[in-house]
């Protein structure tokens, strides 16, 4: 009985830590995306600008991957909407960096899956 209680506590703490870190990394990713857009508008991007974006994106991606393994669907479903928004903006930024015009249609090589448990 004591072992089951301890395991339940550890699982709850693992989920709480995962949720907290995912929330923190998402909150850090959003302003870094915004800052990157402003820098792109105002001047030529430097390696430090690109590195800052990539490091923040990588941290968020790692947390998202962890959440997919730990969190129940009740958490993943709403978090998936945020993930789609953040990664969508990231993709738009990368396309802008490659010289594409905003709103320019891009051919898709394959149809996207609509799974809530998809990565970055």
The CA distances from residue 87 to 3, 17, 51, in Å, are 40, 22, 17
Q: What Å distances lie between residue 94 and 10, 36, 72, 91, CA to CA?
A: 39, 10, 31, 5
Token pair listed for 66: 């962890």
- pTM assigned to the model: 0.76
pLDDT tens digit string along 18-34? 889 999 999 999 999 99
- Per-residue pLDDT band at 52 (split at 50, 70, 90): very high
- pLDDT for position 2: 85
Lowest mean pLDDT among 4-8, 39-43, 82-86: 4-8
């Amino acid at each position: 009985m004591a072992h089951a209680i301890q395991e339940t506590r550890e699982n709850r703490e693992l989920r709480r830590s995962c949720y907290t870190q995912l929330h923190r990394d998402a909150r850090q990713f959003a302003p870094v995306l915004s800052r990157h857009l402003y820098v792109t508008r105002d001047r030529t991007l430097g390696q430090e600008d690109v590195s800052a974006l990539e490091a923040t994106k990588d941290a968020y991606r790692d947390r998202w991957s962890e959440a997919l393994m730990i969190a129940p669907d009740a958490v993943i479903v709403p978090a998936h909407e945020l993930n789609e928004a953040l990664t969508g903006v990231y993709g738009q930024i990368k396309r802008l960096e490659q010289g594409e015009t905003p709103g320019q249609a891009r051919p898709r090589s394959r149809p996207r899956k609509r799974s809530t448990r998809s990565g970055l």
